[in-house]
A and B are shown apart, each in its own frame.
Chain A
Amino acid sequence: MADDRPTPLDKIAILRSATPARIFLPRAGAALTTRATLDFQLAHAEARDAVEERLDADRLFDELTSRGLTAIRVKSAARDRRSFLLRPDLGRKLDDDSRQRLKALAGDYDLAFVIAEGLSARAIARHALPVLEKALQSLDRTSWNIAPIVLAEQGRVALGDDIGETLGARLAAVLIGERPGLSSPDSMGVYLTFAPRVGRTDAERNCLSNIRPQGLSYADAARKLLYLCHEARRRQLTGVDLKDDADTLPLGELRAIDAKS
């Protein structure tokens, strides 16, 4: 057409950039067009694959130890992916062998990091190490005795309670692959629990969500996590009464974290 003045539909197209939602999709009659249908199918396929994928735990373990970190591999009581999905209670519990090996490492720890694939091994493979490293760099080791890093297979968030309790840690930070969204198959979460022990509820934890380059950045995630760790230790609690005010209360320690990251 000769007339190339912007039409009202061009104007609403400008709004498209305001949201990641699948808006203004064209229709073929009363249905979506082929292109939009296939785009959706691909996103769903990627999310499904992310759920089914298993973490390359050998590789991650090697990466941890090659950085001079002490690490230990454990398994939850969920034997396979199906029982992991259907029996959340099993994913929250250590298997017997893992419990025995962790007991041998029990000590007087201020903080235990747990890495678990959760529902997205992809998230852990990509984001766990960078966030862990940034957090560790910023912790003063003279006042923070850190437990060996625990790498857990088929683990849910509450597995950190069992692990933290078995190790004798005062705080547990669980880095875990979140339920994949259609537009975010590799999102990582971190759950922090004070005085971890079996039976803690989610209301007793603090959570950082959507950690990935397109969401909460590694540096921000590490900074918020460190803030929560310090506050949890100072106030002897985590959960609904501990708000994530890292943005509004820049402590000296947090500036130091920023400077390093």
Chain B
Amino acid sequence: MYATTIRGTSYRFPDLKTLMAKATPLRSGDCLAGIAATSAAERVAAQMALADLPLSVFLNEALVPYEEDEVTRLILDGHDHNAFAPIASLTVGDFRDWLLSDAVDEHALAALTFGLTPEMAAAVSKLCRNQDLILIAAKRRVVTKFRNTLGLRGRLSSRIQPNHPTDDARGVLASAIDGLLLGNGDAVIGVNPASDSPEQCYELLSLLDELRETLSIPTQSCVLAHVTTTLQLMERRAPVDLVFQSIGGTQAANSSFGIDIALLRESREAALALRRGTIGDNVMYFETGQGSALSANAHWNCDQQTLEARAYGVARVLDPLLVNTVVGFIGPEYLFDGKQITRAALEDHFCGKLLGLPMGCDVCYTNHAEADQNDMDDLLTLLAVAGVNYVMGVPGADDVMLNYQSTSYHDVLAVRRMLNLAPAPEFAQWLADVGLTDAHGELQAPALPASFAPLLERA
């Protein structure tokens, strides 16, 4: 039982997960689940009660039962008590102040990583304003490597997302070339296949690999198929750089995705055995998003933001190259409008970074959400200020296969210019070497580098 009294009115919260849910800034998914605060005052009362709670409570009271959920077991069994020591005596409210304090720098946050549980990160995020989420996250950089170096300070990377409604090879190639000409693609060239057929995925993998080899691009490719499909393809020696999978924050949510932690570990081992990374061995790519557990009725009456942070608890034991929240894809019944999408994205980026993940974000919305490209402009800028590792580059921001809107190749250019951010160093060098950028890293007037010619001959 948790309680607080404000001006004579007492508010009571029967357990920790109820307190966490009621302390969560308003969003439609928690209302849909019937666990949101019923008034604005109750929400603040919950935040006040949460602020007074010792962080150590989260080591003693599991939000999802330990016996019934392997994600809870992973989190609690993997908790590093030594790393936790600097904050062991703090309340959640103290912890917010500690994170903001001048004494806590990048090194202190890196040392804390495995001393922090996802629930602790989620709890403190609920006490943070958007500005705090940005300020704190900007302190923490998470650097990963495969064929290039992602996540360095002063850099912003992008995924080329050249999706096509029928996986047409020329169509995918055309979209990818467009992205490269606009300086995108250092995070990954990654296609969501329209079909999960292994044959189709093999062809797409071969296409992307040939593109990368032909142009000698220091980047990686990925076909975002189900992990079981990718495992099959690796057995057949398909050119798999990264293993992709959508993951959630409960065992039941992961089960609805057709996966468990053992399967993810197995796929990572298989990808490592291919030894395709040239400068690093981060071989996993995960996507997440608030609301996925609720949509699978796998949420244990926990709020969607806490469960999202728990998904990061799964991701971080697998040393991923890339993790991104697909924040606005799920629809307005989970995140209603631009305001809720923005808040959720900043929380996700903050929690992911504190937990040691190379966080990116698919800044996006669907056509039935109360949002538009202006909201995405705002969010993209905020995330870039917060130091997001990468965002999506979709031709014209319009994904013609998944039917939603994201950020465009041009948007990546815009935010790089506004905030003086560069692509990953190896990729920036490649852009200069092939003549796409000038000595200052600025894109040249439209021109096709000579090295692209062979591709077009075949297209």
Contact = CB atoms under 8 A, between A and B. Distances in A.
Interface stretch (B94-102, B108-116, B409-417): B409-417
Given A31-B410, A179-B366, A23 B333 contact: no
A47 B400 CA distance: 13
A83 to B, nearest CB: 10
B396 A22 contact: yes
Given A8-B448, A8-B453, A86-B28, A20 B400 contact: yes
A258 to B, nearest CB: 22
A32 B409 CA distance: 9
A14 B459 CA distance: 9
A21 B414 contact: no
A144 interface: no
Interface-centre pick from A20, A22, A88 (highest chain B CB count, 10 A): A22
Q: How large is the interface on A (under 10, 10 to 19, 20 to 34, 35 or more residues)?
A: 35 or more
Contacts of B178: 12, 23-24
B202 to A, nearest CB: 19
A119 interface: yes
A182 B406 CA distance: 11
Interface in B400-439: 400, 403-405, 408, 410, 413-414, 416-418
Interface stretch (B18-26, B132-140, B169-177, B207-215): B169-177
A48 interface: yes
A32 B178 CA distance: 14
Given A48-B367, A88-B32, A183-B398, A18 B182 contact: no
Interface stretch (A36-44, A165-173, A247-255): A36-44
Q: How large is the interface on B (under 10, 10 to 19, 20 to 34, 35 or more residues)?
A: 35 or more
Interface in B365-387: 366-368, 372-373
B400 to A, nearest CB: 5
A181 interface: yes
Contact of B173 (A15, A48, A87): A15
A15 B170 contact: yes
B171 A12 contact: no
A23 B175 contact: yes
Interface string A3-30: 0000111011011101111111111011
Contacts of A47: 367
The dominant DSSP class at the A interface is mixed
A21 B408 CA distance: 11
Contact of A85 (B162, B333, B396, B410): B333
Contacts of B372: 44
Interface in B155-177: 162-165, 168, 170-175, 177
Contact of A8 (B165, B173, B418, B456): B456
A175 to B, nearest CB: 18
A246 to B, nearest CB: 15
Nearest to A49: B367
Contacts of B397: 22, 40
A40 B448 CA distance: 26
A155 interface: no
Interface in B217-247: none
Nearest to A85: B332
Contacts of B333: 85-88
Interface of A: 7-9, 11-12, 14-16, 18-27, 29-32, 36, 40-41, 43-44, 47-48, 50-51, 85-89, 119, 178-185, 210
Given A18-B171, A21-B171, A32-B396, 9 more contacts: A9-B447, A18-B168, A20-B400, A21-B400, A23-B178, A27-B410, A30-B413, A40-B373, A182-B367
Across the A-B interface, give the 7 residue pairs with the lowest CB-CB distance, nearest first: A22-B396, A181-B403, A19-B171, A8-B448, A15-B174, A18-B170, A47-B367
